[in-house]
Structure 1
Amino acid sequence: MNKSFIYITAALLVVISFLMNSNISIFDFGRNSAPNASLSNTGVVGTVQAAAGSEEQYQYLSVQRSSSCGLQSATVATYSDDQQIQGSCCSQMDLHRYQEQVEGLKKYSGIDTIPKDPYDISALLAKRLLDYQKNITLTTEQQVIYDEATEIAGEGGPCCCKCWRWHAFEGQAKYLITELGWTAEQVAELWDLEDGCGGTGHSGEGGGH
């Protein structure tokens, strides 16, 4: 038998054995396996995230679906503390508006009840705010402040729809009014920056909801 044929056959067997032991498939080449391309509908996120407001983070969050108009407070209450609620609840995210919001939220970095990213909120924070919504009772004067905030906020309240966000940020406002003495204008401005509905701006600015 030709020695060259024997050598070639042996080499092929070595290559095939290597591929089998390495779990590499010849059909996998060129396949996009980047974790940031996957969708999440459960709030369970296992990938390393980019910086809030970055284009990379926008690309990731814009395809996440763990936040929605149908997601209610009772469901969020069942989430583990290490879960994240991500993505917009209504319209497609807009990069420019997203970056504006993240930049605007930076001035509240010293207040731990305010998220750094309106489209990436931990279940731990959400549950804390929902507890405030249930357990903080406003005085008559404080209720006036809250009601005024809903009138001047771009979405007419904490969110564009009465999903988990509405109730969570209602609780947040109750905390800020009772504990930090916030005004209606301050609450409304914050709600606009926390707007997670997507689009180029809130409804008061002609945003697309």
Structure 2
Amino acid sequence: MIRTMYPNRRTVILGGVFGAVTAAGFLQGPDFAIAAENPELAKRFKDLSRNGNSTCSAKFTESIATMPAMSRITGSCCSPMEMKRYAEQVKGLTKYRAIPMIPSDPYDIPAATAQQMLPYYDLKLTGDEQKAYDYAMANSEEKGPCCCPCWRWKMYGGLAKYLIHEHGFDGRQIVDVWDLSDGCGGGM
């Protein structure tokens, strides 16, 4: 570890098998181990945590419809990302990789996916389907698809209705998807 002139910042140089990877300041404590174990994930974390375009504004929600399908919605919208939580989320979401509409990274979402899922937010569910959705609303960490009624709320609310209606997901499965997909930043 190399100390810098800033007492709360550290620069870590990881070498050996992984080559020369420099991670400045954002990796502390257990994050060192995560970076050593998965340098590509650490690189993605660094990029997404510093270069995001996601916001909670109503204008941003409206702008998603006009984004090129190949563009990405990146970064957290409310709090800084945490490496440990990010690693847990990306690992946990791998169990849903067979369903392309579930983003594999909660901080790097294809605009095309958001564009497809937003209209599902207005889908009327059947009685049992609505019970599954209501269960997820009551039991997810954020008490909904996100911490506030932003683009994520509507996109992940739409995703939940899609998964319930098209894939038969129950409320517990929706809670799992929402909790793993929390893109507000911070830890859990």
Query: Normalising by the residue count of structure 1, what TM-score does the alignment of the two structures yield?
Result: 0.69
- Give, in whole Å, the separation in 2 of the partners of 1:108 and 1:53: 21
Give 1:52 shift: 10
**Where does residue 34 of structure 2 map in the other structure?**
none
Q: 1:75 and 2:63 equivalent? A: yes
Deviates more, 1:66-75 or 1:77-86: 66-75
1:97 and 2:85 correspond? yes
Q: What residue identity is the alignment partner of 2:82? A: D
Percent sequence identity over matched residues?
A: 45
| 1:118–1:194 Cα contact (<8 Å) kept | yes
Using a 3 Å threshold, how does the CA distance of structure 1 residues 131 and 52 change in structure 2: closer, same or farther?
A: farther
Which of structures 1 and 2 has the bigger CA Rg? 1
The answer (yes or no) to whether the contact 1:53–1:103 under 8 Å persists in 2 is: no
- 2:184 is aligned to 197
User: Residues 147 and 52 (structure 1 numbering): CA distance in 2 closer, same or farther, change over 3 Å?
Assistant: farther
Task: Summarize the Cα distance change of 1:53–1:158 in structure 2 as closer, same or farther, 3 Å threshold.
Answer: farther
Q: 1:171 to 1:53 in 2, by over 3 A?
A: farther
Matched to 1:177, the amino acid is I
1:50-65 residue pairs with structure 2 within 5 A?
54-65=41-52
Deviation by residue 1:151-200 (Cα, 9 ceiling, x = unmatched)? 00000100011110000011111111111111111101110000000001
Partner of 1:182: 169
Where does residue 75 of structure 2 map in the other structure?
Answer: 87
Shift in CA distance, 130/110, structure 1 to aligned 2, threshold 3 Å: same
Q: CA shift at 1:144, angstroms?
A: 1.5
Aligned CA-pair RMSD: 1.8
> Tell me, which stretches of 5 or more residues in structure 1 are unaligned?
1-50, 202-209
- Local SS of the residue matching 1:85: strand
Q: Is the 8 A contact 1:93 1:198 kept in 2?
A: yes
Which has the larger share of strand? 2
Spell out the pairing of 1:166-181 with structure 2 (5 A cutoff). 166-181=153-168
The code of the aligned residue for 1:144 comes to K
Post-superposition CA distance 1:79-129 (Å, at most 9, x none): 110111000011100001000000000010000110010000010000000
**Alpha-carbon separation, structure 2, partners of 1:171 and 1:84:** 18
Deviations 1:18-43 (A, max 9, x none): xxxxxxxxxxxxxxxxxxxxxxxxxx
Give the number of equivalent residue pairs. Answer: 151
Secondary structure at the counterpart of residue 154 of structure 2 = helix
Q: Distance in 2 between matches of 1:109 and 1:188?
A: 17
Stretches of structure 2 lacking an aligned partner (at least 5 in a row): 1-37
1:22-37 equivalences in 2 (<5 Å): none
How far, CA to CA, are the matches of 2:165 and 2:61 in structure 1?
22
Runs of 4+ in 1 over 6 A off after TM superposition: none
